[in-house]
């Protein structure tokens, strides 16, 4: 029962090979997507853990203890440190110019 002089066995073999490659491709795709999904879930968990560590080590503005004295104590400390650094740099550069 050949149609056009060709037998149906070679066509059946060709369809089976194409189907086999299709099944293999589908299985590899599913495995790849499963692996990627697992990795992204792992990354998501690591990000959440890191955010929790950061939030527990860094106090929020509402939880900082009240300071006694002026409300600008951090500004005063920063200004003092800046002044000291400027004084040190100025005196260091003056020492360098006097030696030359």
Average pLDDT over residues 78-91: 57
Look at residue 57 in the predicted model and tell me its pLDDT. 81
Residue spans of beta strands (DSSP E) within the chain: none
pTM, 2 dp: 0.42
Q: In this predicted model, what pLDDT tens digit does every residue of 10-42 receive, in sequence order?
A: 999 999 999 999 999 999 999 999 999 999 999
Look at residue 4 in the predicted model and tell me its pLDDT. 59
| Contact criterion met (CB below 8 Å) for 67 and 73 | yes
Tokens of 77: 């400390």
By the 10 Å C-beta count (0-12 exposed, 13-18 middle, 19+ buried), 51 is classed as exposed
Report the chain's mean pLDDT, rounded to a whole number: 75
Look at residue 63 in the predicted model and tell me its pLDDT. 57
């Amino acid at each position: 029962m050949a149609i056009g002089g060709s037998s149906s066995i070679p066509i059946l073999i060709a369809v089976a090979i194409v189907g086999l490659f299709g099944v293999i491709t589908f299985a590899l795709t599913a495995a790849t997507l499963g692996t990627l999904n697992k990795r992204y879930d792992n990354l998501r968990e690591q990000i959440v853990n890191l955010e929790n560590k950061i939030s527990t080590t860094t106090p929020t503005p509402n939880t900082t203890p009240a300071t006694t004295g002026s409300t600008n104590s951090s500004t005063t400390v920063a200004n003092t440190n800046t002044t000291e650094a400027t004084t040190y740099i100025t005196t260091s550069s003056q020492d360098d110019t006097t030696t030359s």
